[in-house]
Amino acid sequence: MRSVRFCFRKLVRAALPGALSLAVAALGQDAGPNVALPQNSTIQSPAPNENSSAPQGSPAVQGNSQSYSQGGSIEQELGISPVPVLTGYTSYFTRVNAGQVQDAPALSPLLLIPLGDNWLIESRGALAETYSKNAQGDFAGKFAYGVVYAQANYITKYVTVTGGRFTTPFGIYGERLAPSWIRALQVTPTAVPIASLSALGGMLRGGVPAGSDKVNLNYAFYFSANNTNHIVATDRSTGGRIGFFFPNQRVEFGASYQQVLQADRPHSVGAHFIWQPYRVPLSVRSEYVRTSGTKGSGYWVEGVYRLSQIPSLKRVEFAARAQQFFAAPNLKAATIKKLGALGLDANQADGGVNYYFANDVRGTVNYGRQFIAGRNANLWTVGMTYRFVMSAWPGGGAL
Partner 1 sequence: MKSFQVKMRHGISVVLVLAAVFLAMSAAASVPANPAAGENVEDKALETKAKDSAPSTTASHPVPDDKAMRLEGEKRFQANCSRCHASPPTFPPRMMATILRHMRVRANITDEDRKLILRYMTQ
Binders in 179-198 for partner 1, by CB under 8 A: 181-182
> Please, which of residues 69-98 interact with partner 1 by CB under 8 A?
74-75, 78, 80-85, 87
Q: In sequence order, what DSSP letters do the residues of 340-379 get, joined into one string?
A: GGGGS-EEEEEEEEEEESSSSEEEEEEEEEEEETT--EEE
The continuous run of DSSP H or E covering 20 comes out as helix 2-30
Binds partner 1 (CB under 8 A): choice among 260, 274, 344, 372 = 274
Whole-angstrom distance between the N-terminal and C-terminal Cα of the chain? Answer: 62
Q: Within 96-115, which residues bind partner 1 (CB under 8 A)? A: 112, 114
In the bound complex, what is the minimum distance in angstroms from residue 332's beta carbon to partner 1?
14
Cα(374)–Cα(370) distance, integer angstroms: 11
Q: Min. distance of Cβ 326 from partner 1 in angstroms?
A: 6
Residue 333 interacting with partner 1 (CB under 8 A): no
Residue 382 burial by Cβ neighbours in a 10 Å radius (0-12, 13-18, 19+): middle
State the minimum distance, in angstroms, from the CB of residue 75 to partner 1.
5
Q: Does residue 240 belong to the site contacting partner 1 (CB under 8 A)?
A: no
The answer to whether residue 368 forms part of the interface with partner 1 (CB under 8 A) is: no
Q: Are strands 251-260 and 237-246 parallel, antiparallel or unpaired?
A: antiparallel
Q: How far is CA 14 from CA 17, 87, 299, 305, in A?
A: 7, 46, 64, 67
Please tell me whether residue 276 binds partner 1 under the rule CB under 8 A: yes
Task: Select the span of 12-20, 134-142, 187-195, 285-293 touching partner 1 (CB under 8 A).
Answer: 285-293
For residue 330, state whether it binds partner 1 (rule: CB under 8 A): yes
Q: In 98-111, which positions are buried (b, 16+ CB within 10 angstroms) versus exposed (e)?
A: eeeebebebebebb
For partner 1 (CB under 8 A), the number of binding residues is: 88
152-171 positions binding partner 1, by CB under 8 A: 153, 155, 157-158, 160, 162
279 interacts with partner 1 by CB under 8 A = yes
50 part of the interface to partner 1, by CB under 8 A: yes
C-beta of 42 vs 366, nearer to partner 1: 42
